[in-house]
Amino acid sequence: MHTTFRIGGTTLMASDGCEEGPSFGGFSLHLSLPTEAEADRAFAALAADGQVRMPLTKTFWSPRFGMLTDRFGLGWMISVAAEMTGAKKDRTLRHNQQTRRRYENEIHGHRQSKQSIRGGRFAKR
């Protein structure tokens, strides 16, 4: 492994592939930044010796969004997180809380199932 990312309680590890030559097809990384200035800097740095597929521009979902392929052939989407206010912000927060509760309930239920298997007829003797 060459790098490790922690996302909440999950560990994501990455390494170079075993294939010959670089190949990054089928996905892009999305970098969401808090300000337009930071998005401009990141976009310019990643675009150096790469290919701009869509210049940074205003969209209906973000004050700045653009796509590029960096010099290594890796696809990137750069955006500025749109500020949410009012009812939309409230709906999003409620949705996130409900999703988290649902996820925690699923995890809790899964742990209980494993415990009943360990203590039940499937337990090692």
Instruction: For the chain, report the end-to-end CA distance as a whole number of angstroms.
Output: 37
The more confidently predicted of residues 8 and 61 is: 61
Same domain, 79 and 30: yes
What's the pTM value of the predicted model, to 2 decimals?
Answer: 0.56
Confidence of residue 67 (pLDDT cuts 50, 70, 90): very high
Q: What is the pLDDT of residues 10-63, one digit of tens each?
A: 777 776 666 666 666 777 888 888 899 999 999 999 999 999 999 999 998 889
Same domain, 32 and 79: yes
Q: In this structure, is residue 112 part of a structural domain?
A: yes
Same domain, 31 and 76: yes
Same domain, 107 and 72: no
Cβ atoms of 26 and 16 within 8 Å: the answer is no
Q: Please list, in sequence order, all residues whose beta carbon lies within 8 angstroms of the beta carbon of residue 58, skipping any fewer than 6 positions away.
A: 64, 65
Same domain, 56 and 73: yes
Neighbouring CB atoms inside 10 A of 26's CB total 6
Q: In this structure, is residue 40 part of a structural domain?
A: yes
The more confidently predicted of residues 49 and 113 is: 49
- Give the range of the structural domain holding residue 55, as residue numbers without chain letter: 25-83
Mean pLDDT of 83-93: 67
Q: In this structure, is residue 3 part of a structural domain?
A: no
Is residue 26 helix, strand or coil? coil
Same domain, 58 and 89: no
- With a cut of 80, say whether residue 70 has pLDDT above it: yes
CATH number for the domain including 49?
Answer: 3.30.720.110
Total of domains in the chain: 2
Determine the Cα angle at 4 with ends 69 and 41, to 5°: 40
